[in-house]
Amino acid sequence: MSPLFINSQWRLRPLLACHLVAMLLLLSWLWLPSRALWDQFDLQLFNLLNEPVHGAGLWAQIWAIGSMRPVDMAVGVLMLGVMLKAGLIYTGPQVRQALFAFLAALLVMLLFRVGFAELVKAMGWQRPSASLVVEGAARLTALFPDWEERWDLKDSATRSFPGDHASVLLLWAMFVSLFARSWRLLLVWVMALIFILPRLVAGAHWGSDALVGGLLLSLLGLAWSCFTPFAHRASEWLEKMTLPITSRLAKLPLLGRLSVISGR
């Protein structure tokens, strides 16, 4: 089996680089002169993305669909599909290792999210979303009330910072980018950008919720999983723990052909 992480030791340079970028992002958001630039960027980006939604036509319908909770689940399945398709990013024997390593990275990021949420609360950094602040903002829930009742549209948040939705997408994109090359790398980032946009168009999050808060969390999750031995060891442990299950599933006609099951 070809190893996913050839070097499973501590990698101090990328580890420190992730922390440095995360710290600079947060400081730029907190320092008043640069915060004014972030606030201006947030408002201009929201107006640019949200203004076309007022017409309630096809453009608004597209973003309303993208803001539905069930679509979030479909996006998750598509993201996993990119990872689990043997030969796209990973070889067949690497697919299961990649899945387990990404789950380990996601767990690390979620732990940082819990601690960061307490810090945000204690420091008074929290704020409502753009749709609740900007006067005259187009609300998808108001434009499509029947859809909101049935499909749970997400277009507002009383606590929008950091962008949890963006943090997961950015973590996935950065994790896969460690292994993707050429057009596959472009595909990954185009997907991540498109999937982040619905929350920004709807005003559920400000741009800096994603580019500061979401990116900060994803950098920390990536740093402490992929640039330490954690992801490698967690993947090995999960591989061993699930081996009795996958070895049985590999004997089934259809499931046994999947690389995540067969390991081939």
Task: Please classify residue 219 by burial: count the beta carbons closer than 10 Å to its beta carbon, then call 0-12 exposed, 13-18 middle and 19+ buried.
Answer: buried
**Predicted local distance difference test score (pLDDT) of residue 22:** 97
- What confidence category does residue 6 fall into, taking pLDDT thresholds of 50, 70 and 90? low
- DSSP state letters, 175-240: HHHTT--HHHHHHHHHHHHHHHHHHHHHTSS-HHIIIIIIHHHHHHHHHHHHSSSHHHHHHHHHHH
Residue that wins the pLDDT comparison between 147 and 73: 73
- pLDDT above 70: percentage of residues in the chain: 94
**Predicted model pTM:** 0.92
- What confidence category does residue 1 fall into, taking pLDDT thresholds of 50, 70 and 90? very low
Q: What is the pLDDT of residues 113-169, one digit of tens each?
A: 999 999 999 999 999 999 999 998 888 888 888 887 788 888 888 999 998 999 999
**Mean pLDDT for the chain overall:** 89
Task: Tell me how far CA of residue 101 lies from CA of 7, 29, 172, 175, in angstroms.
Answer: 14, 31, 11, 9
Q: What is the pLDDT of residues 172-190, one digit of tens each?
A: 999 999 998 899 999 999 9
Q: Which of 111, 115, 82 is nearest to 99 (CA)?
A: 82
- What confidence category does residue 261 fall into, taking pLDDT thresholds of 50, 70 and 90? confident
